[in-house]
Structure 1
Amino acid sequence: MEELSFDSTSAEATEEFLSTAYTPMRIGKSAADARTRISRRAAGPLNVDRLSFGYDMAYDAESLGRVCLLSIHAGTVVDRSGADGEQGETVFGPGETFLIAPPDAPYRGEVRSARYTIAMFDTALLDAMAPAGAEGAPVRLTGLRTVDEAANRQLGAAVAYVRDHVLDNPAAYGNELLLTTAAQHLAAATLAALPHTGRTDPVPADRTDATPATLRRAIAFVEANADREISLADIAAAAFVTPRALQYAFRRHLDTTPLGYLRRVRLDAAHRDLLAADPATATVTGIAMHWGFAHPGHFASLYRAAYGRSPGWTLRLRD
């Protein structure tokens, strides 16, 4: 776990810190007291920052090179780079979760007495979760705002999940499998919520690869490696098809996704561990985290839907 914190009233110190922690940038302030507070928690492929600016601060920044999502809790953030295809200013307010800028593009705007959360991850995760329609082409995010309000809520919930239940939880951020699963979850939520180049019609070649044989190879690989960090790309490589073809195969034959199936395999494994565990020494939370489930409430909900009872009841069950 990497942790850092910053607390200053100096605009010069803030500019230096932001340029080091994010990307080179220049800032301007409109207040005598430029109070800035920033804290970061980072582990594995994820980092989450909490930022608070008690004043209005303009910024002109170079590209981040990573996917950077903002969830605003108070105040506003203004984009002036035209990254969302709009002329002039695009204003984001409390309750909105959005992309601060395309990962490969410079950006500029203003923070207006705002408090917000930042979640960042590598762009490679987007390709692993949903490759673009053109073979070999990377997925590119094409807009800052989510496609609708429901998508905004889902993306905000994904950022909060990583912040509150993964990187704020020592038992979670010490588990590499759980960190990988959480990063994949955040990348998938990003692709589901934001406009991107992968939102295209399927290509015929991928449809022809979506066969039962593809599915059998993928299922065998998932079931043999569910306790390891595996991605959509790993499963596709084991099945000798493209990730997109793999997605079609699972949707066509099982009405789920490859990662949805992986989650079910891990849920079944957790179920077996709960049945075999000694309730005097084992806990539901410990077993859930071992299989990549960081949020106890979410795990309990999935478990109850699958088995018709709570995981705690299963742990206490004895013949």
Structure 2
Amino acid sequence: MLQIDYATTDAEAASQSLASLYDQPDVRGVGPGFRYEQHVRGDGEMTLERYHFGGDIETTADIPDALVSVQVHGGRFATREQGAVPNGSLHGLGPIANGTTDADFSIVTLPVPVLLRTGLRHEGAERGHLVVDGRAPRPELAGHWAEVIDHAHTVTADPTTFQNDLVRAETFRHLTAAAFAAFPVHVDADRVVPDTATAGAVVRRATRYMDDHVAEPIGAAEIATAARVSPRGLQAAFQRDLGITPMAYLRRARLAEAHRELLATDPTSGATVSAVALRWGFTNATRFGAAHRDAYGRSPQETLRDDSGRRGAR
């Protein structure tokens, strides 16, 4: 479980606190009266967050594998690319940059695997691909979505209540189901993520570069250069050919390397899951554990203890 209740007037401390949830966060452009307040409840996959940003603040973060719904309760909240957006709208699947002024807002993080599992159960399918047809909530359900978020905050605000496994699971299940109803997303059960061999030249060049440099600190700019396309063109090619972002592909490749290392490592050597995760770029242990379980069906700790892995990593 993840529970954070934190406040500071220091921008660097605020960035460090955000790093427990997001990749490469940055708080800057801080004006007079800066104040950062954060309240988070999470279960290792989904998180429910409430923030107050006092003063004028610019923030950036990378969200490659999840959609986040932002509900603004007061002040100004705008994205750098889109400006003011409909309340409750979805963001993520890549870097986002925001500007706020005395903003009070909620965020619900909806990982793509969680949404996909919900959609597959709803469709009665075993495999498929999550399709996002729009980022704004359906007008007739926008109010309902806001009420669901408010109710979830009320339920989870008390730490004792949140620690109840049944209450916590039901609260997040309700959020996921409401998100599927409120937003134009669905599962295409006839479409699965294709092998990169069937993708276009841009994606093949990019994935080859990422596979060759998976252990290095590369980003979207370097990948786009290697693929001989603009960053926007790179994003479009990946969404068209693979249905994922370039950074999501890179994270999957690094997760596979971390998995192989866990299988091949002798647990009596003093190696730890957190050290392996950090070596492959995963700074959030909770999210690393959730991603590993989703991909391989068991926790990183169980994988590290697997004797069969040391007879040859998969």
TM-score (norm 2): 0.52
Q: 1:52 corresponds to which residue?
A: 52
For the 8 Å contact 1:44–1:179, the answer to whether it is kept is no
Residues 56 and 112 of structure 1 are in contact (CA less than 8 Å); yes or no, is this contact kept in structure 2? yes
For residue 95 of structure 2, the aligned residue among 101, 106, 116 is 106
> 1: distance between equivalents of 2:18 and 2:45?
20
Is 1:40 the equivalent of 2:29?
Answer: no
Contact 2:180 2:186 in 1 (8 A): no
Q: Determine whether 1:157 maps to 2:147.
A: yes
The answer to whether the aligner puts 1:117 opposite 2:106 as a matched pair is yes
Residue 186 of structure 1 aligns with which residue?
A: 175
The one-letter code matched in structure 1 to 2:78 is: V
Q: Which residue of 1 aligns with 2:23?
A: 23
Q: Is residue 91 of structure 1 aligned with residue 88 of structure 2?
A: no
- RMSD over aligned Cα atoms: 2.9
Counterpart selection for 2:130 from 128, 136, 139: 139
2:3·2:40 contact (CA, 8 Å) conserved in 1? yes
- C-alpha deviation, 1:169, in angstroms: 4.6
Identity of aligned residues (%): 19
Q: In the alignment, residue 129 of structure 1 is paired with which amino acid?
A: T
Would you say how many aligned residue pairs link Structure 1 and Structure 2? 188
Shift of 1:170: 5.5
Amino acid at match of 2:15: E
Cα displacement string for residues 154-187 of structure 1 (whole angstroms, at most 9, x for unaligned residues): 111111122112x135664344333333222211
Counterpart secondary structure, 2:166? helix
Alpha-carbon separation, structure 1, partners of 2:177 and 2:131: 14
**1:137-286 alignment, distance < 5 Å:** 137-148=128-139, 150-165=140-155, 167-169=156-158, 172-198=161-187
SS for the counterpart of 2:185 is coil
Match of 1:33, SS state, is coil
Structure 1 residues 3 and 183, CA, compared in 2 at 3 Å: closer, same or farther?
closer
Match of 1:310 in 2: none
Structure 2: distance between partners of 1:172 and 1:11: 31
Consecutive unaligned residues of structure 2, counting only runs of 5 or more, are: 191-314
Q: Distance in 1 between matches of 2:84 and 2:80?
A: 9
Provide the residue aligned with 1:271 in structure 2. Answer: none
Check 1:108–1:142 CA distance in 2 against 1; reply closer, same or farther (3 A cut): farther
C-alpha distance in structure 2 between counterparts of 1:154 and 1:61, whole Å: 28
Tell me the secondary structure at the aligned position of residue 4 of structure 2. Answer: strand
Residue number in structure 2 paired with 1:9: 9
Tell me which protein shows more strand as a share of its residues: 2
For residues 121 and 177 of structure 1, what CA distance do their matches in structure 2 show?
A: 19
Tell me which amino acid in the other structure corresponds to 2:47: N
Distance of aligned partners of 1:8 and 1:178 in 2 relative to their CA distance in 1, 3 Å threshold: closer
Contact 1:43 1:173 in 2 (8 A): no
SS in 2 for 1:21: coil
Instruction: Pick the structure with greater CA Rg.
Output: 1
d(CA) in 1 for partners of 2:16 and 2:103?
Answer: 19
Amino acid at match of 2:151: Y
In structure 2, give the amino acid aligned to 1:145.
A
How many angstroms does 1:27 deviate by?
A: 2.8
User: Secondary structure of 1:146's partner?
Assistant: coil
Pair 143,106 (structure 1): closer, same or farther in 2 beyond 3 Å: farther
Aligned partners of 1:113 and 1:152: how far apart in 2? Answer: 23
TM-score, scaled relative to structure 1: 0.51
Superposed displacement of residue 30, structure 1? 4.3
Q: Structure 1, residues 285-315: CA drift from partner, whole Å, max 9, x if none? A: xxxxxxxxxxxxxxxxxxxxxxxxxxxxxxx
> How far apart in 1 are the matches of 2:169 and 2:105?
24
- Secondary structure at the residue paired with 1:55? strand
